[in-house]
Structure 1
Amino acid sequence: MESNYSGRVSADLMDGRGEQVVHGGPKFRSVRRVFRILDLISEHGEGMTAKQLAREIGTSLSNCYYLINILADEGYIEKLPQCGGYRIGRAVSQLYENTRSDFDAHIEPVLDDLARRSQRHAYAAILSDGEMTVTQVKAPPRSPPVGVVEGFHGASHALALGKVLLASMGSEYVEAYIEGHGGLVAFTHRTIVQPAMLHAQLNKVRMVGLATDYEEFAPNLCCVASPVLGEENRVQGAIGLSTSIKHIRKEGHHLVVMIQRAAEEASALIK
């Protein structure tokens, strides 16, 4: 990956599908719907019921249940009886565990320590198939689950981790990303949807080596992230921390200092 990062700051927080047609008959449509179900549950979490999933993937409720049951039987999703929704299952995490990269293996101790010291969720991510993919999530003891889980893929422009990775690829790559998605999808009213504004923020990310998001992907979710650099200072991935909107102003400076220090430690381990 191309890297244009030139420095770091300690407290400068930045404020902020279309689907491809697949030919081949019903069998191929079912396969595509299975992956779309996983995408929707990953993006929207527990709020997606079977009826909503059926509507989103364009099939009958009975056929949707058939696909859901297959995914549940194989452990790729789990039903949540209390709310009628679903969440990504352990089998997805296991797939990533079985294909762990050297990047993840090397930085895992740093991420564990970061979660413990910050008492916040710590994340690692890489760029995969043009999108940010979360490869690790480390949680402090007795912490509630958060909206971005291990294996999450997408929403690169709306998350600090994704901004770090997009910034590392340069402006032409970002333009192709925007065009490939038919524009910038709004996940909340705070999501950056103007290309010029995204380019401006990514330019700042390149200069300071720090990205933020304030409820741009999900309500009450705020994140800070920094790049992990390999040989020749090329960006290999990103690590980040999350907190709530209530705490970001109070602890933002502290989180920035911690994430930048951890990014330096992780970079030293992979160089």
Structure 2
Amino acid sequence: MGANHRDEGTGDPAVSEVPVASKFKSVRRVFRIMDLVSQRGENLTAKELARELNTNLSSCYYLLNILADEGYIQKIAGGGYRIGPAIPLLNEGSRRYFDSTIEPIVTELARRAQRHAYAAVLSDGEVVITQAKAPEKRPLVGVVEGFHGASHALALGKVLLAGAGSEYVEEYIDAHGLEAFTPRTIVRPNQLHAHLNKVLMVGVATDFEEFAQNLCCYAAPVKSRGGKVEGAIGLSTTTSRVRSEGQQLIELVQWAATEATALLVDAAYEGRNSA
């Protein structure tokens, strides 16, 4: 049987016969454009983008116009492009989904540990605390919901930086520096890179009075199906309790991160009876 089937009504090639390879190539080029614009859009021309994409100029303009019409990129007067207003809306929607999905786990973590539990995401290099849960009848101490910054000094931020990769960490250092919040804060770039490599290997980050006196934290990554770090979940305690309860808190954080990851991966997940 021949490969070129035609629709009996129109004589045109059947829809199923339209090559999909070209469609996938266009989709990849759209994502590549957004990636390039986010990195160095102000210095990019359409010709340079076309060269980067290995496509002709008219095809590049076609994709640029679609992205601009939908608000994903904007043309800058005088040349170049920048990320458009639709991208922050996507990020905000993703963050709301992340929070609503894992909130039961953060609440349960605070209850089981009888310590303050947190969820966080990364935004422009800064850790953003999206949830802060206190055990029942205990006031919240430490960082609060809505806090942002100090990624290199908080366990939650270290997990997120480690998951973002060494190039992202370099950009963070260039943009934000390594402020010393306490004498224990990591302030040398090579030391931070080594520390984050260890976080990647063991899957847990710690900070012992690196952001504030008498505040110690543990955190672990929450991942998507593809293994991308989407956020972090953690616990805080005091310096005097670290020796006696540190290992237990690490195990609880790892349990919570595993449960939260499962919730993100499978929306129909109904919970487990582990731990």
**TM score, norm. by length of structure 2:** 0.61
Match of 1:142 among 131, 137, 142: 137
Q: Say yes or no: does 1:259 pair with 2:259.
A: no
1:156 is paired with a residue whose SS is coil
Amino acid at match of 1:268: A
- Equivalent pair of 2:218/2:236 in contact (CA under 8 Å): yes
CA distance in 1, matches of 2:259, 2:159: 17
Count of residue pairs brought into register by the alignment: 174
How far is the alpha carbon of 1:99 from its aligned partner? 9.2
Amino acid at match of 1:115: A
The aligned counterpart of 1:111 is: 106
CA distance in 1, matches of 2:259, 2:114: 18
Displaced runs of 4 or more, over 4 A? 97-100
Deviations 1:128-157 (A, max 9, x none): 122110000010012233120000010000
Cα distance, 1:105–1:175 mapped onto 2, change above 3 Å: same
How far is the alpha carbon of 1:176 from its aligned partner? 1.0
The aligned counterpart of 1:163 is: 158
How far is the alpha carbon of 1:98 from its aligned partner? 10
How far is the alpha carbon of 1:100 from its aligned partner? 5.8
Structure 2 unaligned segments of length 5 or more: list them.
1-91, 266-275
The aligned counterpart of 1:61 is: none
1:86-235 pair list within 5 angstroms: 101-181=96-176, 183-235=177-229
1:74-89 pair list within 5 angstroms: none
2:120 is paired with a residue whose SS is strand
Cα RMSD (Å) of the superposition? Answer: 1.5
1:204 is paired with a residue whose SS is helix
How far is the alpha carbon of 1:179 from its aligned partner? 1.1
Deviations 1:226-256 (A, max 9, x none): 0001121111100000000000111000000
Identity of matched residues, %: 65
CA distance in 2, matches of 1:263, 1:220: 24
Structure number with bigger Rg: 2
1:191 is paired with a residue whose SS is coil
Deviations 1:11-36 (A, max 9, x none): xxxxxxxxxxxxxxxxxxxxxxxxxx
Amino acid at match of 1:263: A
Flag the structure with more relative contact order, 1 or 2, with Cα contacts below 8 A and sequence separation at least 6.
Answer: 1
CA distance in 2, matches of 1:154, 1:221: 16
